[in-house]
Amino acid sequence: MNRIPGYEFFGKQAKEIDRSCENRQSPMMRLDDTHPDEIAVRLASIASKAAHLLRGMENALIEQRVKDDGSPSTAADLAAEELIIRHLNEAWPGVPIVAEETASTAHPGEFFFLVDPLDGTRDFIHGTGEYSVNIALIRGDRPLAAAVAAPALSKVWIAGANARTSPMPEAGSDAFEWQDIKVRSAPEGGLIALVSRRHGDIATEACLSVLSIGTRRMTSSAVKFCLIASGEADIYVRCGATMEWDTAAGDHILCCAGGSVVGPGSVPLTYGHEVRGYRNGPFAAMGDTSLAPRLDLPAAAA
Ligand X SMILES: Nc1ncnc2c1ncn2[C@@H]1O[C@H](COP(=O)(O)O)[C@@H](OP(=O)(O)O)[C@H]1O
Q: Which residues are annotated as a binding site?
A: 100, 116, 118-119, 246
Question: In this chain, which stretch among 33-41, 104-112, 204-212, 237-245 interacts with ligand X, using CB under 6 A?
Answer: 237-245
Question: Does residue 119 belong to the site contacting Mg ion (CB under 5 A)?
Answer: yes
Distance from C-alpha of 266 to C-alpha of 205, rounded to nearest angstrom: 18
* Residue 234's binding partner out of Mg ion, ligand X, none, with CB under 5 to 8 Å set by partner kind: none
Pick out the residues of the known binding site for Mg(2+): 100, 116, 118-119, 246
Residue 177 near ligand X by CB under 6 A: no
Task: Give least dist CB 83 to ligand X, A.
Answer: 16
Closest CB to ligand X among residues 140, 277: 277
Residue 226 Cβ vs ligand X, minimum distance, rounded to whole Å: 12
User: Quick one: which of 15, 55, 126, 198 contacts ligand X (CB under 6 A)?
Assistant: 198
Residue among 43, 243, 262, 269 that touches ligand X (CB under 6 A): 243
Number of residues binding to Mg ion, judged by CB under 5 A: 3
Q: Which is nearer to ligand X, 159 or 222 (CB)?
A: 222
Alpha-carbon gap, residue 73 to 120, rounded angstroms: 10
Question: Is 302 near ligand X (CB under 6 A)?
Answer: no
Burial label, 68 (beta-carbon count in 10 A; 0-12, 13-18, 19+) = exposed
Q: Which range binds ligand X by CB under 6 A, 6-14, 236-244, 248-256, 286-294?
A: 236-244
- Contact between 151 and ligand X per CB under 6 A: no
- Does residue 276 interact with ligand X by CB under 6 A? no
DSSP string, the chain: ----TTHHHHTHHHHHHHHHT--SPPPP--STTS-HHHHHHHHHHHHHHHHHHHHHHTTS---EEE-TTS-EEEHHHHHHHHHHHHHHHHHSTT--EEEGGGGGG----SEEEEEEEEE-HHHHHHT----EEEEEEEETTEEEEEEEEEGGGTEEEEESSSEEEEEPPPTT------EE----PPPTT-EEEEE-SS---HHHHHHHTTS-EEEEEE--STHHHHHHHTTS--EEEE-S--BHHHHHHHHHHHHHTT-EEE-GGGPBP----GGGTTB---EEEESSGGGGGG----SS--
| Options 53-61, 116-124, 224-232, 269-277: segment touching Mg ion (CB under 5 A) | 116-124
69 near ligand X, judged by CB under 6 A: yes
Cβ distance to ligand X smaller for residue 36 or 108: 108
Among 126, 184, 199, 273, binds ligand X (CB under 6 A): 199
Q: How many residues does the chain have?
A: 302
Interaction site with Mg ion (CB under 5 A): 100, 116, 119
Residues in contact with ligand X by the rule CB under 6 A:
69-71, 100, 116, 118-121, 196-199, 220-221, 241-243, 246
